[in-house]
Amino acid sequence: MPGGIVNRLRKAFTRAPVAPPCVPAGLRLYAIGDIHGRDDLLGQLLGLIEADAAAAPDIRKVLIFLGDYVDRGLQSRQVLDRLTGDFAPGFERVFLKGNHELALRQFMDDAAFGRTWKYYGGLETLHSYGIKELTLSDDPAAFEHARERFNAVLPGKHLDFLDNLALTAEFGDYFFVHAGVRPGIALSRQIEEDLLWIREDFLDSSSSYGKIVVHGHTPRETVEFRSNRIGVDTGAYMTGVLTALVLEGEGRRLIQTGEVPAAAAN
């Protein structure tokens, strides 16, 4: 009798093994980190991804872009040309919104915001569209002129792209977002400001979110694998390393451009 009680107590306090996170069978996800105006790297990475996917022609393949397509690098227009064009046939595509896309759209409505955006990477974006008024000037009239010209030259397909970006995506046990999420708040109740801007409160948290959060926004030398999140922004515009996290079943691997340091441990 005592032995039976002990066995029942042992079973009651023994945790069942936790299954590793996974994506649905027959699906392969490629989550791409912050591009920041590096169309050269984006072209290289997409070539590597297409070669990788060619070995599995019958599987469903999804490209998930984590935002921050523009600013800082010198090829923002070329990046948007590529992403609004006919690329990667056979792939589904999910485009998430980053804080730099938000900043670009704010400048289109408010020339005064250009004082912030210019030094935040916006000057390089304007240069990619042939707008040079702000290179040596912080005069309010120059900002207004640059804003008017930018509104005039921005292709309609670029504007449609910027205005139709998603905030989040979910596949299986993974939740995809640009910056991260607010700990203690259900994923379905997160607000846009946190999804696009959050840093330390999210990065320093060990909270479980119910899903593994895959994000960009905060550059690191290597991909960060944590128990509750995976950060895939490897600072492409300055490092030359643009990263795609590949998720299939329970597997995780990386495809990257450039010289890549060893990845951070799980």
Q: What is the mean pLDDT of residues 104-114?
A: 97
Residue 177, CA atoms < 13 Å, CB-side half-sphere: 26
Which is nearest to 100 in space by CA: 214, 236, 200?
236
Which is nearest to 195 in space by CA: 101, 263, 76?
101
Distance between CA atoms of residues 146 and 159, nearest Å: 17
pLDDT for 126-162, tens place per residue?
A: 999 999 999 999 999 999 999 999 999 999 999 999 9
- What is the arrangement of strands in the sheet containing 243-248, beginning at the earlier edge strand? 92-95, 60-65, 27-32, 243-248, 251-256
Average pLDDT value over all residues in the chain: 93
Q: What is the mean pLDDT of residues 11-29?
A: 81
pLDDT for 230-266, tens place per residue?
A: 999 999 999 999 999 999 999 999 999 986 655 443 4
Tell me: pLDDT of 186 over 90: yes
pLDDT for 32-73, tens place per residue?
A: 999 999 999 999 999 999 999 999 999 999 999 999 999 999
Alpha helices (H) along 1-75: 2-13, 39-54
Res. 19 pLDDT band, cuts 50 70 90: confident
Its pTM stands at 0.91
Q: What is the mean pLDDT of residues 182-199?
A: 98
Per-residue pLDDT, 5: 72
End-to-end CA distance of the chain: 44
**Looking at the domain 22-256, which fold is it?**
Purple Acid Phosphatase; chain A, domain 2 (3.60.21)
Per-residue pLDDT, 125: 98
Per-residue pLDDT, 266: 41
Tell me: pLDDT of 91 over 70: yes
Q: What is the mean pLDDT of residues 158-187?
A: 98
Q: What percent of the chain has pLDDT over 70?
A: 91
Return the bridge partners of 225, or none.
Answer: 230
Tell me: pLDDT of 8 over 80: no
